[in-house]
């Protein structure tokens, strides 16, 4: 194989990406297996070779695509940022640059699934809760590091602040989806900036 040749995308990856698009557009309950397959030109045998059910497929989309992407965009970069107040705000803005307007119209896929499935499917609820807690913990740890380095007021309860920040971000995505406006997300981020700045020590 030539060094510049790329490995063909596996049937499993094609199914996952197609399923993600369907879930993001229509929700888990609106996802149709026949449409997932139509988008990939694969047969049912290929899908059920990798995923035993629609539910198992959706869990894989959640864990391997949605959570992985959030980790890449939000959690990993924050670990290398010195000042979490500036860092979290920067990440909020950078997502506005990375994701197209269409993403904001459809909403955060993690939050969409949380709203749709947590009340009716314990498997979804537990998986989403576990990841939200991991995301919150990443914010909390960043704030704790900021306290140690003098960027964050030592009196701040970092766990509660992290929960509020995460709730604000997901709420901003929800409002942007409802308004069908990326600008609404960015306006919410500017108000979140005011809260973040309030976490700094009073000089």
Cα 198 from Cα 140, distance rounded (Å) = 16
Q: What pTM, to 2 d.p., does this model score?
A: 0.91
Instruction: Quickly tell me which residue has 């497929």 as its tokens.
Output: 57
Mean pLDDT estimate for the chain:
93
> In this structure, what token pair is assigned to residue 57?
């497929």
Report the pLDDT value the prediction gives residue 107, as an integer from 0 to 100. 95
Which sequence spans correspond to the domains of the chain?
59-198
Cα 114 from Cα 168, distance rounded (Å) = 15
> In this structure, what token pair is assigned to residue 182?
């990326």
pLDDT tens-place string over residues 9-62: 789 999 999 999 999 999 999 999 999 999 999 998 989 999 999 999 999 999
pLDDT tens-place string over residues 119-167: 999 999 999 999 999 999 999 999 999 999 999 999 999 999 999 999 9
C-alpha distances out from residue 27 to 24, 35, 109, Å: 6, 13, 9
- Given 3.40.50.300, 3.40.50.1820, 1.10.357.10, 3.50.30.20, which CATH number is that of 59-198? 1.10.357.10
Specify whether the CB–CB gap between 162 and 93 falls below 8 A.
Answer: no
Helical packing angle, 109-117 and 11-26, nearest 10°: 70
The H or E element that residue 168 is part of is helix 158-179
Specify whether the CB–CB gap between 176 and 104 falls below 8 A.
Answer: yes
């Amino acid at each position: 194989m030539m060094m510049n040749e790329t490995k063909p995308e596996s049937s499993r990856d094609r199914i996952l990406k197609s399923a993600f698009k369907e879930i993001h557009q229509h929700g888990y309950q609106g996802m149709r297996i026949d449409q997932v397959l139509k988008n990939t030109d694969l047969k049912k045998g290929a899908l059920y070779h990798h995923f035993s059910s629609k539910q198992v497929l959706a869990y894989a989309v959640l864990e391997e695509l949605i959570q992985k992407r959030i980790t890449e965009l939000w959690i990993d970069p924050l670990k290398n940022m010195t000042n979490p107040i500036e860092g979290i705000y920067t990440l909020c803005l950078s997502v506005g640059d990375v994701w197209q307007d269409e993403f904001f119209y459809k909403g955060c896929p993690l939050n969409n699934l949380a709203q749709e499935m947590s009340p009716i499917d314990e498997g979804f609820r537990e998986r989403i809760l576990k990841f939200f807690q991991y995301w919150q913990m990443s914010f909390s740890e960043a704030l704790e590091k900021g306290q140690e380095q003098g960027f964050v007021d030592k009196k701040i309860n970092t766990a509660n602040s992290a929960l509020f920040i995460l709730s604000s971000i997901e709420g901003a995505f929800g409002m942007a989806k409802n308004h069908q406006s990326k600008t609404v997300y960015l306006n919410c981020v500017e108000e979140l900036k005011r809260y973040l700045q309030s976490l700094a020590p009073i000089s």
